[in-house]
Amino acid sequence: MSLRAASIAVAGLLLAGCVAGPDYRPPANDLPVTWQLEQPWRQAAPGDMLDKGRWWQRYGDPQLDALQRQALAGSPTVALASARLAQARATLDVNGAARYPQLALGTRASRLKISANRPLTNYNVANSETVQNDFAMSLTASYELDFAGRVQRLVEGATASAEQSAADLENVRLLLTADLATNYFNLRASDTELDVLSRSIALQRRALDLVTARHDLGAVSGLDVAQQQALLETTLTQVDVLKKQRAQYEHAIATLTGTPAPVFALPADLKPITPPAIPLGVPSEVLQRRPDVASAERAMAVANAQIGVATAAFYPSVSLGPSLGVDSRLIDRLFDAPSLLWSVGVSATQVLFDGGRVRAGVNFAQAGYDATVANYRRVVLTAMQEVEDGISGLTALDRATTQALSAVAAARRVLDMATARYEGGASTYLDVITAQQSLLTVERQAAQLLGQRLVTSVFLVKALGGDWCSAERGNTPACV
């Protein structure tokens, strides 16, 4: 008996040292060593392990800062992600509690009557009815021996799930602030375009007054007046269309900040905003900075732990269940020695045949892990694409903006010359109309490009995973 007990103990220790399922190892990624850069881009050390911070403050717009604070405090999307994080942490606490014994204290106090006609337990002794009290108190314990590491895998999975929820919360905050900044800069670009249209309308009205006066004097035909009137009406129509777009951006900002759209309004602001210089790290650093990549990686860890949980079903389930208590029909003798009762027991269950249910569960968990690996690779590839799109997009927009500003200056000179030639009788009014239309077109294009530069810079910040900390800060605020 001693040899058998020792053998069982050794076998238990061996099983206790075996954890079912594979240990988690993140998959390797074949990433390029650098980005495809053009001047004036530069490589930088972005300080990936620091907080992503309030990156929007780098644009130097107090109105945007206030809106971002309001959004982070009042957005229902952030509140939802925060609640899910709290749930994940509570689940981790639940699974972690399985590593410890469970204790329970029970009491019972009753008065009962025993039937005289109950089935006999001894044919030589007749039953009789009895009325008596029953007082009992017991302390029970239960503990599952984690032979196959099922509980350990559950804790690993819950830990990874809580970390995934934390990354999801950071991703929600990043997407919220990026969406808000995008709509805000689009709204400001609309303000700039509306200002361009307002100045063009004033110019066109003065031109209409001039050509009308010349028509009244008989110097020009009614065709010139009609052409100028048609141009003015077309420009006025563009104002209404642009105001509609601005209202949509304003309503989107209201929703993102948790404010009902009917009670929200932003006044026009023509203050120029310049995109900040965005330093770039190497491509592999994006995997550390982006919360969606972190979430996808943690999802793999969760799925890997589920394989261990499913595999543990192949092994015996062993539980200890000792109990200690007292039971008496007289309450004043409840704690006397004769009232003591106890039990010590071990229960074990081993599946012998289940028709392949456990194996199917392992296969299901393995397929779930393969799906998370594929999703992780997709997220990483998308991250690489978005960063390259942001880099190339900003480079092209910078060149286009410079060219557009030169075109605006040239169009103004053309309009001045066309107006002077018309007033001197050297050309028709069609040249003036054409010059006005050209100036309006290039001025609106320049305003749109400035807005697109801001929006694309926000897109690149989001693609890089948020704020950065440059080693050469100067007067630039740290990651805050």
Tens of pLDDT, residues 142-167? 888 887 888 888 888 999 899 989 98
* Tokens encoding 295: 């979430």
| 47: region left, alpha or beta (phi > 0 left; psi from -120 to 50 alpha) | left
Q: Contact at 8 Å (CB) between 105 and 114? A: no
Residue 133's DSSP bridge partners are: 111
Full-model pTM: 0.77
Ordered by start, the domain boundaries in the chain are: 12-101+147-318+357-464
Give the Cα separation of 326 and 336 in Å (integer). 8
In percent, the amount of the chain with pLDDT more than 90 equals: 32
The token duo for 262 is 């009917």
Q: What's the confidence (pLDDT) of residue 477?
A: 44
| Fold adopted by 12-101+147-318+357-464 | Outer membrane efflux proteins (OEP) (1.20.1600)
pLDDT (average), residues 117-129: 86
Please state, rounded to an integer, the average pLDDT across all residues of the chain: 83
Contact call for residues 264 and 253 (beta carbons, < 8 A):
yes
In total, the chain counts a number of residues equal to 480
pLDDT at 104: 92
Q: What are 94's two structure tokens?
A: 């639940």
Determine the distance from the C-alpha atom of residue 138 to the mean position of all C-alpha atoms in its chain, rounded to a whole number: 49
Helices 76-97 + 150-216 axis angle, to 10: 170
Q: Residue 183 corresponds to which tokens in the numbers above?
A: 């709509």
Q: 144-165 burial, b for 16+ CB within 10 Å, e for fewer? A: bbbbbbbbbbbbbbbbbbbbbb
Q: Which of 296, 392, 386, 291 is nearest to 48 (CA)?
A: 291
pLDDT in tens, 21-61: 677 777 666 555 454 544 444 433 333 334 457 899 999 99
Which tens digits make up the pLDDT trace of 166-205? 989 988 999 999 999 999 999 999 999 998 888 888 888 8
What CA–CA distance (Å, rounded) separates 384 from 403? Answer: 29
| Model confidence band, residue 321 (pLDDT cutoffs 50, 70, 90) | confident
